[in-house]
Amino acid sequence: MGKLINGKEFADTLCKKIATEVTKLKDKNIKPGLAVVRVGEDPASTVYVNMKAKKTEEVGMHSVTKILDEKTSQEELLNIVEKLNQDESINGILVQLPLPEQINEDSVINAINPDKDVDGFHAINTGRLWSSIDSLVPCTPLGCKMLLLNELKDLTGKKAIIVGRSNIVGKPMAALLLAESCTVTIGHSKTKDLENEVKKSDIVVAAVGVPEMVKGSWIKPGATVIDVGINRIEKDGKKKLVGDVNFDEAEKVAGAITPVPGGVGPMTIACLLHNTLIATCRKNNLEIPKFF
Ligand code: NDP
C-alpha cells in the first residue's frame, strides 16, 4: 500500500506559517490584501471564491470580494482590474475563471499588474517561470511541487510525467519539475501509448479532467502519484468526488499518492495566500519567507 500524501494537513501547516508571517508584518503596519473577482453565478466558482475569502481572513489578510453580474462587459471588468491595480491596499488580484463568453480571458489576465498576479497566469510571469527568474507561480502546480519535495526531498534525475498540458496546471508543472532537474514528459490527448509513458515514470502528475483515467496498472511500482483532478461523478447511485487517477488501484502500486479530496485541492488556496504574502514582501522590499 502506498503512503497517503496528506495535502490537507500540509496546507493547514502552511497556512499557520503564513499567518505567523502576516502577524510579523502587522508590526511594520503592513497588511497583505487579496482581491478576488467573480463574474456571474457559476456554482463551482461561487464555492471557490467564498472559500478563498474565508481563508484569506483566517490568516489575517485583508480580503476583498467583487461579485459582478453575468452580463458584465469586458470593458467594465478591465476597469475594475485597473482600479485594483492602482489600489495600494491590494497586493494580489485573482479573477476567477471561467469567465462568461463575452469576455476574453487572456485580455483580462494580462491586464492584471504582473506583480499582483497571484494566480501566476500573466504572460510575463509565465515567461519568468520558464526562464527561471523569480515569479509568481500558478498555485496548483506550486502546491504539487511542495508536496513532491516534502515527500521525496530531492527530485534530481527523476523521470516525471505530467498528463495534461493546460496553461494553468500542466505546462507550469512541467516548468517547475524541469527546474528541479527532473526529466520531464508532458502527455496529452494526442500522446501515443500514454500508458507506457506513465509506466516509465517515477513521478506522475495527473491533470486531465477525466475521472479515474490513469489506471493502477499504468503506475510503476513505488512511483509518487499526484492527482490534480477534481471530478464529480455518480457511482452506485451516490454523488462522489474522484480524481484523474483510479485511486483504489493506484494506491496498491504507488510508493506515495495524494487522495481526492484532501490531496492537491487544499494546497491550491494555501499557495494563493503564499503568493499574496510574497507579492506583499516584494512590494515592500522585505525578505521573502521560505516555507519549503
Ligand atoms: P484542461 O481541460 O484545461 O486540460 C486538460 C488536459 O488534459 C489537456 O491538455 C488535454 O489534452 C488532456 N487530456 C484530456 N483528455 C485526455 C486523454 N484522454 N488522454 C490524455 N490527455 C488528455 O484541464 P485543467 O488543466 O484545467 O484541469 C485538469 C484537472 O485538474 C481537472 O479535473 C480540474 O478540475 C482539476 N483542477 C484541480 C485544481 C485543484 O485545485 N486541485 C485546480 C485546477 C484544475 P489536449 O491538450 O490534447 O486537449
Q: Which of 289, 287, 264, 272 has its CA nearest to residue 93?
A: 272
Query: CA angle, 61 as apex, 56 and 62 as ends, to 5°?
Result: 95
Q: How far apart are CA 152 and CA 17, in angstroms?
A: 21
Q: What does the pLDDT profile of the chain (292 residues) look like in tens digits?
A: 899 999 999 999 999 999 999 999 999 999 999 999 999 999 999 999 999 999 999 999 999 999 999 999 999 999 999 999 999 999 999 999 999 999 999 999 999 999 999 999 999 999 999 999 999 999 999 999 999 999 999 999 999 999 999 999 999 999 999 999 999 999 999 999 999 999 999 999 999 999 999 999 999 999 999 999 999 999 889 999 999 999 999 999 999 999 999 999 999 999 999 999 999 999 999 999 988 7
- Of the CATH numbers 3.40.50.970, 3.40.50.10860, 3.10.310.30, 3.40.50.150, which one belongs to the domain with range 29-113? 3.40.50.10860
* pLDDT of amino acid 1: 87
Q: Where are the domains of the chain?
A: 29-113, 139-265
**Ligand 1 pocket, CB under 6 A:** 140, 163-166, 168-170, 187-190, 194, 207-210, 213, 228-231, 244, 264-265, 268
Active-site residue, 248 included: no
Active-site residue, 96 included: yes
139-265, CATH topology level = Rossmann fold (3.40.50)
Answer yes or no: same fold for 29-113 and 139-265. Answer: yes
Report the nearest-CA residue for atom 40 of ligand 1. 265
How far is ligand 1, taken at its centre, from the CA of residue 13, in Å?
28
Catalytic residue among 55, 116, 119, 227: 119
Report the nearest-CA residue for atom 35 of ligand 1. 229
Helix axes 43-58, 264-283, angle to 10 degrees: 50
Active-site residue, 52 included: yes
Atom of ligand 1 nearest to the CA of 267: 40
C-alpha cell at 286: 522585505
User: pTM of whole model > 0.75?
Assistant: yes
Q: How far apart are CA 279 and CA 288, in angstroms?
A: 9
How far is ligand 1, taken at its centre, from the CA of residue 21, in Å?
34
Q: How far apart are CA 230 and CA 208, in angstroms?
A: 9
Give yes or no for a contact between 37 and 74, defined as CB atoms under 8 angstroms apart. no
Dump the DSSP string for the chain.
-PEE--HHHHHHHHHHHHHHHHHHHHTTT---EEEEEEES--HHHHHHHHHHHHHHHHTT-EEEEEEE-TT--HHHHHHHHHHHHH-TT--EEEEPSSPPTTS-HHHHHTTS-GGGBTT--SHHHHHHHHTT---PPPHHHHHHHHHHHHHHS--TT-EEEEE---TTTHHHHHHHHHHTT-EEEEE-TT-TTHHHHHHT-SEEEE---STT-B-GGGSPTT-EEEE---EEEEETTEEEEE-SB-HHHHTTT-SEE--SSSSHHHHHHHHHHHHHHHHHHHHTTPPPP---
Residue to probe by mutation, ligand 1, list 137, 210, 228, most atoms within 8 Å of CB: 228
Report the nearest-CA residue for atom 30 of ligand 1. 229
Dump the DSSP string for 5-64.
--HHHHHHHHHHHHHHHHHHHHTTT---EEEEEEES--HHHHHHHHHHHHHHHHTT-EEE
Atom of ligand 1 nearest to the CA of 268: 40
